[in-house]
Amino acid sequence: MTNYDKFLKNIPIMPDVSTKILSFAEDLAEVSFSELEDLISLDPGLTAKILKVANSALYARQQQITRLQTAISLMGFKAIKSLVILITASNMFQKSALTPFYKYFWQHSLITAFIAKKLSEITGQQRLKEEAFLAGLLHDIGQLALYESQAGGYDSIMEYINQDEATTCKMEISLFGADHLSVGRKIMENWNFPSIYADVAGEHGNANIQSTHKELIVLISIADILTSVLHEIEFSPEVQKYLHPFLLYSGLELKKLNYFQEQFMIDLKEDPLFQECRSLFRIN
């Protein structure tokens, strides 16, 4: 049986403010905007960054947003929750932010998050768009724990990372005794995240999904694959085969994904929110 403590100890503890916000009911039926504002306001640095990002996300407004409650009411609870976790994650890993692995990791994670959010719209699952964004951002969190557990240990895997999930997991198990899927699930559980995020971390890329949150796991799996092949002109037979079970379940046709290779990054680079996110994680 794998001892996950050796991996979990390398990951910072999620701050209380973020954990409490995650525990709030999704519809805010039992929590008022003012209560949410009071909780976030306990962390002045978090508050300042939320306002900064909110002003970027809502850049078309003529007046600048200066009050947290205004940002919450305009963006909605789910979007604010995503921002809290986004900002918290960027703060938690600042000490290693400039290493090549971390730059690659957060670049991949951010693009996966934005693709997953877009896919939720394309597939008519807009109700999942904020969950898709947050799940996409954290789907590979187990890689961070493995990377931190052994100096230089992850270097030999970098050639395969996020290109061949099965090969990556086999190499991780050989080197560390666990893969990033199982470790990622444990991290989400340790942080007291809702089960939907633990299941995404533990089952993305798996064609035989056991979780009841299959819709979201399929979206993240597609987004994860797309992020890895954005540089390719067309989908290779291997990638098409990998995508097939997820497309079958989602009802998406392969040709609808051409947008992501042809236009998505052009549009994304013009997105003020994406630019703000890149700044948070210090990605050039």
C-alpha to C-alpha distances, 136 to 28, 47, 55, 149, 178, nearest whole angstrom: 23, 23, 23, 23, 21
DSSP notation for 71-111: HHHHH-HHHHHHHHHHHHHHHHTGGGTTSHHHHHHHHHHHH
Q: Which residue has the higher pLDDT, 207 or 216?
A: 216
Average pLDDT over residues 81-96: 83
CA distance 178 to 169: 8
- Ordered structural domains, the chain, with CATH: 5-280 (1.10.3210.10)
Q: What tokens were used for 145?
A: 């724990």
Side-chain half-sphere exposure of 123, counting CA atoms within 13 A: 28
**Distance of alpha carbon 60 from alpha carbon 284, whole angstroms:** 24
Give me 181's structure tokens: 């899927």
- Rounded CA separation 246/259 (Å): 17
Phi-psi map region of 192: left, alpha, beta (phi>0 left; psi -120 to 50 alpha): left
Q: Are 86 and 197 in contact (CB under 8 A)?
A: no
CA distance 48 to 66: 9
What single-letter amino acid sits at 176?
F
Q: Encode pLDDT of 108-120 as tens digits.
A: 999 999 999 999 9
| pLDDT tens, position by position, 233-254 | 889 999 999 999 999 999 999 9
Q: What is the pLDDT of residues 53-87, one digit of tens each?
A: 888 766 556 678 888 888 888 888 888 888 888 88
Which residues, 6 or more positions from 76, have their beta carbon under 8 angstroms from its beta carbon?
A: 130
The lowest-confidence range among 48-52, 138-142, 176-180, 222-226 is 48-52
pLDDT in tens, 18-42: 888 877 755 554 456 777 888 888 8
pLDDT at 267 over 80: yes
Q: Tokens representing 280?
A: 């948070």
247: Cβ contacts below 8 Å, ≥ 6 apart: 222, 253, 254
